[in-house]
Structure 1
Amino acid sequence: MSVENVLKTIQENNIEWVDFRFVDLSGRAHHISLPSTEVDAETFVNGVAFDGSSIPGFRGIEESDMVMMPDPASTFIDPFTQHPTINIMCDIFTPDGERYERDPRSIAVKAEEYLQKTGIGTRANFAPESEFFIFDDVRYESGTNSASFFVDSEEAGWNTNRKEEGGNLGFKVRVKGGYVPVAPVDTQQDIRSEMSRLLEEAGMRVERHHHEVATAGQAEINFRFDTLTKTADNLLAYKYIVHNTARQYGKTATFMPKPLFGDNGSGMHVHQSIFDGDTPLFYEKGGYANLSEMALHYIGGILHHAPALIALTNPSTNSFKRLVPGYEAPVNLVYSKGNRSAAVRIPVAAVTPKGCRIEFRTPDSTANPYLAFAAMLMAGLDGIKRKINPSELGYGPVDKNIYELPEDDKANIRSVPASLEEALDALAADCDFLTEGGVFTKDFIDNYIKFKRNEAKSVAIRVHPHEYSLYYDC
């Protein structure tokens, strides 16, 4: 959408407010709303001022003036506001007109520009499968003398004996038994359909939705791939629509990777490919899974840099509660065709040359999508430039269920880091591939590591409720 079309949309839809949004280091959106009467073509040239010192991980108070520069292509009409509103994502600039090097969206834009400068291709397509839970109740606290969490869902397997108004009607979802059942086991068809309708109204092409494996309302909605930055914009809008639709239904949605103990967590499997114009560069008939040599080198880059990548694709302490064997978690740093126990899967069912792609299954939705997608692209491009052959480095292919391999065979397979701190250590040691072409800066990486170490420490120093079970009677 052009600036002219945005202004036309405002007029034709009687829009009262224009909501300008940007994203912080953690991937959370922030916004400032202007009356539509205050928005004209000059707004897209001069931007919207805000205080960067109030955003964690951004600037100090002595240099707090910053500017949001709106991208008209990201515009969509907000389906939740009482007063007609349009939402527009922005890049962050300094007052002197320079891109702010700590702005995640600007990093994504620079990654796309870098791809074109390399001459390898003209665009990178991304498609995340962002899973989530829909709960009926959530309560949590973390204080000096108490710590707890509680979630509940009407369809949860633990509620088979719960007293309910009108009687308990059964048909609960068993633990690990939630993959695509029909009603009445699946109670959330309508809410997912409503989410999907609103996603399509916001400009996304929804491909499917379904119940996921876990009990207690785990769901997935897939939307069509797009270019890197546009897909990250879409994912921000996706999470906004999922959260607020759930709220309208009197429920709550979370993209937290592991909100439940003993059942599957929520991942964000990321499909990706590179094109030169309309020509797919990852396809070669007769190759392994019909992959080109370029695609294999891209996989080599992803797997070689995976420990560092995971600091950006799985950037929460909770991420590593999901990344454990036994819960369909892709902890094994190998590639394989059609094998969901590998970190990199090559889809092979109903795949056309233009649909040929690789799927990195390790990420989750605590990732800032602008940073995660940019980092994956940079790792893959490094693999292409250095011709990293994943097979020569011991990264597969492994076309067996890795979870059921003999222990001696498993011992030869490298695994993901075991904690956020380990992943941050890996990022500190292996970040040169990210700084190629000035896409990420060393300042950004150092600041990001410091920011995330503080998060990890805040969890590590707190008393965990399970420690009372283990140690109170010592």
Structure 2
Amino acid sequence: MSDWTNKLPEAARDYIAGRRLDEVECIVSDIAGVARGKAMPASKFGKQAFFFLPNSIFLQTITGEWADNPSGAFTEPDMIMVPDFTTATAAPWTADVTLQVIHDAQDQKGNPVPTAPRNVLRRIVELYNAEGWAPIVAPEMEFFLTARNLDPNMPVMPPMGRSGRRAAGKQAYSMSAVDEYGKVIDDIYDFAEAQGFEIDGILQEGGAGQVEINLAHGDPIRLADEIFFFKRLIREAALRHDCFATFMAKPIEGEPGSAMHIHHSVVDMKTGKNIFSDKKGGETEAFHHFIAGMQNHLPGAIALLAPYVNSYRRYVPDFAAPINLEWGRDNRTTGLRIPISGPEARRLENRLAGMDCNPYLGLAASLACGYLGLKEGKTPRPECIGDAYMSETDLPYNLGDALDLLEENTALQQVLGAEFCGIYDSVKRNEYKEFLQVISPWEREHLLLNV
């Protein structure tokens, strides 16, 4: 083994043990969560400490266009991409022996690039650490398996199951429903094992072909890395079996949307104790301050948790999605839920984030709201007892309104970083403008001859 392979995690070393490593994929997340970078022969990767990428990758929209740079001219200077060997993991679907390695983006002076999503999340974690706190998260990933959709003008359809019938909706927690596409699930498990990832559980959700994967709680940056990897892993497993996996917030009309529920707790770094529970096992003031921070700042963070025009189709009543900022104990109609747990695992579940969000930015935005709550020390609204779906919505109705709320929330912008927020706003407003130029089937059906 060469020196650099000794730095690899155990799962990566096991994957290449006794075999010739062919290729290394050097990747970084862009604003959308798409993996950008370059692949190179393993022999070349081992001889260089870093490589270069233009900083313009953080100005690219989901359609491949380029947003304006709010901080200056579009000169595309190079960033230095430095490998984080702790992230090295297999790419088990490739024909040859390949590893993926996430890289950190630095400027040419060695400073973290503030517009890189992984750096945004690290910035938030470091703010917690400076107070003596370690944030802990446990994400849940929902997604749909669908039939191949080769024509964007055609609606997305559920996949064909082993029975020869299309996957049916309203079968939440059904083991038989999961068995319909069991071969895809088997490959997800196999790929995850090869990559060294721990799956806490897989279940059928309420939509047709909708699956949920739970991950064990832990460090936010490590778990964001895993979700970043999982999205690719799941797509590759689906393609092996002639179907698609989609993380769109609302891919199928009439079906529920896909969320990325985020469970939050905070640990005192000196004692290792959960700051949300006191010595007697009760709820602390810090816990209520955290909830208040969510209620006060999530409206400004929605632009990161619901980053596309499609995201707002998930925020509708009666489709198992929260449309409020109410909090409640074991109440799934509230946007902020306190699950049943012992004092050591007391946590708050943010149910607002869509699975279409960039995992680094989704976790960063949610943690930022909680951090501001802890610092501000405010009291949350009274607990919601009963059906929170009956409450007035606290959320913006579209991406444009969400971006306005982020722009107005100076405290949240300061925590996330002003330069990042400027770039994010530019990218998202460009995408929104592009969407408004598309005429939908609904408009043609109802307006063409009637107005």
Q: TM-score w.r.t. structure 1 length?
A: 0.85
Tell me the residue number matched to 1:145: none
* Alignment of 1:306 onto 2:298: yes
How much is the aligned-residue C-alpha RMSD, in angstroms?
2.5
- How far apart are residue 353 of structure 1 and its match? 3.1
Matches within 5 A, 1:247-326: 247-277=239-269, 278-284=272-278, 290-326=282-318
1:23 to 26, 29, 44: 29
Query: Which residue in the other structure is 2:353 paired with?
Result: 363
Look up the SS of the partner of 2:37 in the other structure: strand
The answer to whether the 8 Å contact 1:308/1:424 transfers is yes
**Residue of 186, 197, 203 corresponding to 2:196:** 203
Q: Which residue of 2 aligns with 1:402?
A: 388
For 1:369, give the aligned amino acid: P
**How far off its partner does 1:61 sit?**
5.5
8 A contact 2:25–2:100 mirrored in 1: yes
**How do 1:30-429 and structure 2 match up within 5 A?**
30-40=36-46, 43=48, 46-53=49-56, 56-57=59-60, 62-119=75-132, 121=133, 123-141=134-152, 148-154=153-159, 174-175=168-169, 177-183=170-176, 186-215=179-208, 217-277=209-269, 278-284=272-278, 290-348=282-340, 351-391=341-381, 396-403=382-389, 405=390, 410=391, 413-429=392-408
- 1:126 positional shift: 1.5
Separation in 1, partners of 2:229, 2:420: 25
- 8 Å Cα contact 2:247-2:258 kept in structure 1: yes
Percent identity reads: 27
1:433 corresponding residue in structure 2: 412
Task: Assess, with a 3 A threshold, how the Cα gap between structure 1 residues 473 and 62 changes in structure 2: closer, same or farther.
Answer: closer
Residues 26-48 of structure 1 deviation map (CA, whole Å, 9 limit, x = unaligned): 111113112211233x74xx411
Contact 1:265 1:327 in 2 (8 A): yes
Contact 1:204/1:224 (8 A) holds in 2: no
C-alpha distance in 1 between matches for 2:435 and 2:212: 28
Alpha-carbon offset, residue 105 of structure 1: 0.8
CA distance change for structure 1 residues 389 and 453 in 2, over 3 Å: closer, same or farther? same
Q: Structure 1 residue 196: deviation in Å?
A: 2.4
> For residue 55 of structure 2, what is the amino acid of its counterpart?
G
Q: Distance in 2 between matches of 1:131 and 1:459?
A: 25
Tell me if structure 2 keeps the 8 A contact 1:155–1:185: no
Q: Residues of 1 paired with 2:20 and 2:223: CA distance?
A: 28
Q: What SS is found at the alignment partner of 1:305?
A: helix
In structure 2, distance between residues paired with 1:352 and 1:190: 36
Report if aligned partners of 2:224, 2:360 keep a CA contact under 8 Å in 1: yes
1:203-260 deviations in Å (ceiling 9; x for gaps): 2211110111012x11111121221111110000110110000011111100001011
Matched AA of 1:53 = S
CA distance in 2, matches of 1:265, 1:340: 15
- Please tell me the residue identity of whatever aligns with 2:205: E
1-side partners of 2:98 and 2:422: how far apart? 37
Separation in 2 of the partners of 1:111 and 1:79? 32
State the 1:193 CA deviation.
Answer: 3.2
Paired with 2:74 and 2:434, the residues of 1 have a C-alpha distance of 24
- Asked if the contact 1:379–1:434 (Cα under 8 Å) also holds between the matched residues in 2, the reply is no
How far residue 194 of structure 1 moved from its aligned partner, in angstroms, is 2.4
Number of residue pairs the alignment of both structures matches: 432
1:449 corresponds in structure 2 to 425
Note if contact 1:333-1:344 (Cα within 8 Å) is conserved in structure 2.
Answer: yes
Other structure's SS at 2:318 match = coil
**Partners of 2:309 and 2:398 within 8 A in 1:** yes
TM-score, with structure 2 as normaliser: 0.89
Ranges in structure 2 where 5+ consecutive residues have no aligned partner: 61-66
